[in-house]
A and B are shown apart, each in its own frame.
Chain A
Amino acid sequence: MSACGHGSGPTRTAVAGRKTVAIVGPPNSGKSTLFNALTGLRQKIANFPGVTVEHRSGTARLSNGVEIEVVDLPGVYSLDPRSEDERITRDALRGDIPGVPKPEAILLILDATNLGRHLMLAAPVLATGVPTIVLLNMADDLRKRGGGVETEKLARQLDAPVALVSATRGEGLDTVRNFLAGQFAVPRPVELPVLQDVPRCREWSARVGARAGYQAPAPPLWTRRLDRLFLHPAAGPLIFLGVVILVFQTIFTGARPLMDGVESLIQLSGAWMGNRLPDAWWRALLLEGVWGGVGSVVVFLPQILLLFFFIGILEDSGYLARAALIADRTMARAGLQGKSFIPLLSAYACAVPAILATRTIESRRDRIATILIAPFMTCSARLPVYTLIIAAFLPERPLLGPILGTRAAALLGLYVLGFLAAVVTARLLKSSILKSDRTPFLLEMPPYRWPTPRSLGLRLLDRAKAFLRRAGTVILCVAIALWFLAHLPLKDGKAPSIQNSLAGMLGRTIEPVIRPLGFNWKIGVGLLTSLAAREVIVGTLGTLYGIEAAPEKAAEAVGFEKALQKDLSPAGAVALLIFFAFAMQCMSTLAVVRRETGGWKWPAIQFAYMSLLAYAGSFLAYRLVHGGF
């Protein structure tokens, strides 16, 4: 047993650095479920240093009190280094990624109901020489469908411990913990195939499976029944449409009461603080800058959680793969693949989670194209701006009887405009700089499964943490900076009038640039502050007009609308709407794009393109409408 030369003895593991183990497995083998079952709430999400592939790590506590670091690696079919995920998995197993310790053991998780094919991954994993336990997941499903395997025989073939587990039910996890608590041994399998030769690997796995008495299970009946419905030529698309509408409606209307709740909570706590703090400049900063700025973003937390709740159900149940299949042709027309559909759908709530959701797209070019067009989809931050301007300039008249009025139609038109901009941009990108190397669309259809509350809960917790962390860092800094700009330079120890503040001066500096669009300096300041987040323009204009109004209520304030009508001509209002439909006014989106694309190149291109389009679009709109008057 040459393998026991290092790392033996409980003192080292318990006192000195923790042991690290890695979970490796093909997509849909239950890696995340196993990871969640082992680590519970003691987990964190991070990117691998230097690359944008996300990984999770967490701590598993064993019965003897020892803690072990568990790293969840990307789902892979092999360790062939040609794709990014697989190269990272291979490098991580070798300890070649700085900052990620070389794992002392591997938990190889395979789908027991599809062992013939999944066992192929065991060959390269065992060949790394890292001690490995082979976990045959979905053991309950295998039995139910009449399959079986003799684990001792398989263990002898692979020279590694083998266990049948069911990660969702917690079955067999004691075996995993015992393995982690024990001493690790390097596997010496009876035979290994030539790893580069896929047919040989498949022959090997068939041979090993046969020697271990593997009986493949009967086909999943319920999955086939459900697919007959969900992929039915007529019913399928209808159900799909129903699901889209349901998700849409709920994200918009269902989240409203919760968002109102959060908002009043923020206002109440702000008022409570305001009454108790001394009247000093930092009180105003705290209330207007921090509470007003960060608070207006935190309001969107319920909406984002609701969105991820739906994505979680759709993904965990297996329906998302079918939705991507049905949407593929529409996406193909824009030069994108079906997997772009879900991120674009979620961009209607906010571009940030949408860009995070593009991680499921393997082709880097398709992923970047999707990231670049996502901010064109009408996000919820545009709503207050649209509502305010439409209400101020467009009289309400029925268009289609009571169903559709002029204002709602205008709003709908802006949504369509954003979608068209996205599709046209996608076509442009895909036929030029992001011309695809024709990565084929390969989508595995997993069997349908019940989503578990635990996995959904953990998902939401992850997202809530990530969202609040961002609100507490980037958004907080921007809010404070804006507040200072509007209150400096001090004159005789007093803040200047807004016109003479740094913000006011900035507005008047850019006025010549935006005058051709029909905007004056006040709108200019609004445009500048809305670079941080679109809805900020509403609050900014409110301050400029000296009207105290929350962004959402601003539209109803008659004084606000009157003031806006004085500042903007009808042509200027149309131009402003077009500007907001196209412009990239969102720091968080740019920050996320930078992180996800691994540099400033793409966010810079995106910002330039969208700004140019916004400027040209609103200039044209202003000329056209102005000419008509």
Chain B
Amino acid sequence: MQMGVNKRPRRRRTLAELRRGEQAVLERLDLPEDTARRLMELGFLPGQMVAAAGSAPGGDPRVFRVDGSEVALRKETARHLQVRFSD
């Protein structure tokens, strides 16, 4: 995985910023190991395409489509999942 110096920092975002219908590639899970593992078992693996779907009123928690499943995450968790928009 190459990250290096990011020329366009605007392109690196977190899952929490994804709006309904948008999708991005998961890069990194900045979470304690147990939580990260639990998320990875649900499909949130680096390199996977994640798409934002519906949410509770107000946008939190939001449903994400990943690896054939739909999983709801609170913003406070989604904020720790770094994503990269595919071109």
Which A positions have Cβ atoms within 8 angstroms of B? 77-78, 80, 82-83, 113-114, 116-117, 120, 198-199, 202, 216, 219, 224, 227-228, 231-233, 236-237, 321, 325-326, 328-329, 332, 338, 438-445
Closest A residue to B74 by CB, please name it. Answer: A441
Residue of B whose beta carbon sits closest to that of A120: B41
Query: Which residues of chain B are near A325, meaning CB under 8 Å?
Result: 55-56, 61, 63, 72
Question: Contacts A202-B45, A325-B61, A328-B56: A442 and B40 contacting too (C-beta < 8 A)?
Answer: no
Chain A residues whose C-beta falls within 8 Å of the C-beta of B67 in the assembled complex: 116-117, 202
B43 touches A117 (CB 8 A): yes
A216 is contacted by which of B55, B68, B74 (Cβ under 8 Å)? B68
Q: A440-B74, A443-B71, A445-B70 are in contact. Are A326 and B42 (CB under 8 A)?
A: no
CA distance A531 to B40 in the complex (A): 48
User: What is the CA–CA distance of A113 and B70 in the complex, to the nearest angstrom?
Assistant: 13
Bits for B43-66, please: 1 = Cβ < 8 Å to A, else 0.
Answer: 101100000011111101101010
A442 in contact with B77 (CB, 8 Å) = yes
Q: Check if A441 sits within 8 Å of B73, measured CB to CB.
A: yes
Residue from A83, A116, A326 within 8 A of B57 (CB atoms): A326
Residues of chain A with a CB closer than 8 A to B87's CB: none
User: A80-B37, A120-B41, A329-B60 known; A444 and B68 CB under 8 Å?
Assistant: no
B interface residues (Cβ-Cβ under 8 A, vs A): 31, 34-35, 37-43, 45-46, 53-58, 60-61, 63, 65, 67-74, 76-77
On whether A444 and B56 interact (CB within 8 A), knowing A82-B34, A117-B43, the answer reads: no
| B contacts with A: majority SS | mixed
Q: Are B37 and A198 in contact (CB under 8 A)?
A: yes
A321 contacts across to B, CB distance below 8 A: 72
Q: A202-B45, A325-B61, A328-B74 are in contact. Are A442 and B38 (CB under 8 A)?
A: yes
Residue of chain B at shortest CB distance from A219: B65
Asked if A443 meets B41 with Cβ closer than 8 Å, knowing A227-B53, A326-B56, A328-B56, the reply is no
By beta carbon, the residue of chain B nearest A321 is B72
CB-nearest residue of chain A to B40: A198
- Kindly list the 9 A-B residue pairs having the minimum CB-CB distance in the complex, ordered from nearest: A231-B54, A77-B41, A445-B70, A198-B40, A440-B77, A443-B72, A114-B68, A441-B74, A326-B56
Q: In the complex, which residues of chain A have a beta carbon less than 8 angstroms from the beta carbon of B72?
A: 321, 325, 328, 441-445
A236 touches B57 (CB 8 A): yes
Q: Are B45 and A444 in contact (CB under 8 A)?
A: no
A441 touches B68 (CB 8 A): no
Cβ of A444 to closest chain B Cβ, rounded Å: 5
- Cβ contacts A to B, 10 pairs, < 8 Å: A227-B63, A231-B56, A231-B63, A232-B54, A325-B55, A329-B60, A440-B39, A440-B77, A441-B72, A442-B72
Contact A198 B41 (CB under 8 A): yes
**Contact between chains at B58 and A78 (CB < 8 Å):** no
When distances are taken between beta carbons in the complex, the residues of chain B under 8 Å from A120 are 41
Contact B57 A233 (CB under 8 A): yes
Do B57 and A445 touch (CB < 8 A)?
no
**Among B34, B42, B76, which residue has its beta carbon within 8 angstroms of that of A444?**
B42
User: From residue B30, how far is it (CB to closest CB) to chain A in Å?
Assistant: 12
Residues of A within 8 A of B37 (CB): 80, 82, 198
Contact residues in A for B70 (Cβ distance below 8 Å): 444-445
Residues in B neighbouring A78, C-beta threshold 8 A: 41
Report B-chain residues with C-beta under 8 Å of the C-beta of A445: 63, 69-72
